[in-house]
Amino acid sequence: MQFLVSVLDDKTNSATPEEMTAITAFNERIMADGNWVFAGGLAAPDAATVVDNRDGGAIFTDGPYLESKEYIAGLWIMEAADLDAARKLVVEASKACNRRLEVRPFL
């Protein structure tokens, strides 16, 4: 079962060298344990483009679909048996990257 772990922040690409080291160590460990699927940082919302082609003739909007102070600055996709197993990983991930995280299962 896969979980999306969103990194919540009001800045992008803001990890300190210490945080980067901790994140790398965490990633290497969960890769070894078979929990790692994917991870990556995201460009800031001002780099976002919203595309609406529901009615044909695509409309492009500059900026994110939702304005908020905090946004998703990065993400992990993790493999875990259930929410308890995922929570354990996310508790460590939050410590490693020193950010608040949101965890949601894929359907």
Partner 1 sequence: MSDVEETITRVHHEEWARVIASLTRRFGDLDIAEESAAEAFATAVERWPDDGVPPNPGAWLTTTANRKAIDRLRRENKRDDKHKEAQMAYDDPPEPLGVIDDERLRLIFTCCHPALAMETRVALTLRMVGGLTVPEIARAFLVQETAMGQRITRAKAKIKAARIPYRVPAGDDLPQRVSGVLAVLFIVFNEGYLATSADTDPVRHELTAEAIRLARLIRALLPTDGEVVGLLALMLMTEARRTARVSSTGELVALDQQDRGSWDAALIAEGHRLVRERLAAGMPPGRYQILAAINAVHTSARDVRDTDWSQVVALYNQLVRVDPSPIVALNRAIAVAELDGPEVALATVDELEDSLAGYHAYHATRADLLRRLGHSQQSRAAYDKAIELAGNTAETAYLTRRRDQLG
With CB under 8 A as the contact rule, the residue among 31, 46, 65, 105 that binds partner 1 is 105
33 counts as binding partner 1 under rule CB under 8 A: no
Residues 46-85 that bind partner 1 (CB under 8 A): 81-84
Instruction: Return the closest-CA partner of residue 37 out of 27, 52, 23, 25.
Output: 27
Instruction: Return the closest-CA partner of residue 71 out of 15, 8, 6.
Output: 8
Question: For residue 21, what are the contacts with CB-CB under 8 A and spacing of at least 6?
Answer: none
With CB under 8 A as the contact rule, the residue among 1, 31, 47, 50 that binds partner 1 is 1
91 counts as binding partner 1 under rule CB under 8 A: no
Beta bridge partners of 104: 4
With CB under 8 A as the contact rule, the residue among 11, 87, 95, 100 that binds partner 1 is 87
Question: For residue 26, what are the contacts with CB-CB under 8 A and spacing of at least 6?
Answer: 92, 93, 96, 97
User: Which residue lies nearer to partner 1 by CB, 22 or 90?
Assistant: 90
Q: Under the rule (CB under 8 A), what is the footprint of partner 1?
A: 1, 3, 81-84, 86-87, 104-105
